[in-house]
Amino acid sequence: MSQAPETREGPVVTPVRVVIALCLVAPFVAMLWVGSYAKTDPVFIGIPFFYWYQMLWVLLSTALTMIAYKLWQRDQRARSAAKGGASQ
């Protein structure tokens, strides 16, 4: 009753994937922590803090999502290259 070892790969936590997760979670934490921005001061070009802070996070979320996507692509290319090189 010998069984061959399974070659199934499970999820791997790497530093790059931790950075990706932080990039994706940061906007949610920032927006759900309402107490940090539920105020009117400081005013920026006549817009209360409450509004311009949220609009700033729209831009930051876009940038962080783009960074996470690029890191994910790079990680997947590295994994497929390592997998292809190991099987040859």
Over the stretch 29-58, which tens digit does the pLDDT of each residue have?
Answer: 999 998 888 888 898 999 999 999 999 999
pLDDT value of residue 12: 83
pLDDT value of residue 85: 66
- The answer on pLDDT for 19 being more than 60 is yes
Buried b (16+ CB within 10 A) or exposed e, 33-68: eeeebeeeeeeeeeeebeebbeeebeeebeebeeeb
For the whole prediction, is pTM greater than 0.85?
no
- The answer on pLDDT for 62 being more than 90 is yes
Comparison of pLDDT for 45 and 4, the residue scoring more: 45
pLDDT value of residue 55: 93
